[in-house]
Amino acid sequence: NAEIDERTLREYYLKAFDLAQSYGDDYQKATTLHGVSLTYLYKKDTLSAMNYLQKAIERHPSAITKFWKAKYFYLTHQLDSAELYLKKGILSKTFSSKASCFNLLSEIEKKRFNHTQAYAYIDSFNAYRDSINDLKQHENIQQLNVRHALELKKKENEQEEERLYWITGLVILCII
């Protein structure tokens, strides 16, 4: 039954790939190929998994695809290779990529029983995660400020409109 589920999941990923290809979306193509790769990896077919992972990386070489490759190496117990890709990934410009890399580096060091380094990596992960949350919170506050300003402007416009109605009404009464 799990075999059927993996095959069905793989078919859905490949259909999603075709759809992404029709839209010309390289990131989505890479994401779906990565999904296919995972179905093979969980089936313990590491050769097919790596083949699809390489196709994903070719479609969209980025920090996230480096992380995917590191995760592949981690899941196949190739910790040195995983560490190499993760250290490339932490040079990324995005906080989320850095956070993911530091988190997995921490897991690698735990497996190596190097708890001091694992703690240092998890500390870095937490710092980036907190920065991401701070940025999201700042963005939410800015959105609230914009909404508030728009509501004030709308209320001001409604009051002005009401004032014009009163003035118009008074002018009409004076003319009559």
- What is the identity of the amino acid at 80? D
pLDDT, one tens digit per residue, over 90-123 is 887 777 788 889 999 999 999 999 999 999 999 8
- Percent of the chain at pLDDT exceeding 90: 17
pLDDT band at residue 3 using 50, 70 and 90 as cut-offs: low
If you average pLDDT over every residue of the chain, what do you get? Answer: 84
Q: Is 41's pLDDT higher than 90?
A: no
- Residues contacting 150, CB < 8 A, separation 6+: none
pTM of this structure: 0.56
Mean pLDDT, residues 126-143 = 77
Q: Is 170's pLDDT higher than 50?
A: yes
CB 82 within 8 A of CB 71: yes
pLDDT band at residue 1 using 50, 70 and 90 as cut-offs: very low
Q: Is 68's pLDDT higher than 60?
A: yes
Q: What per-residue confidence (pLDDT) applies to 111?
A: 94
Tokens of 80: 């040195």
Q: Is 77's pLDDT higher than 50?
A: yes
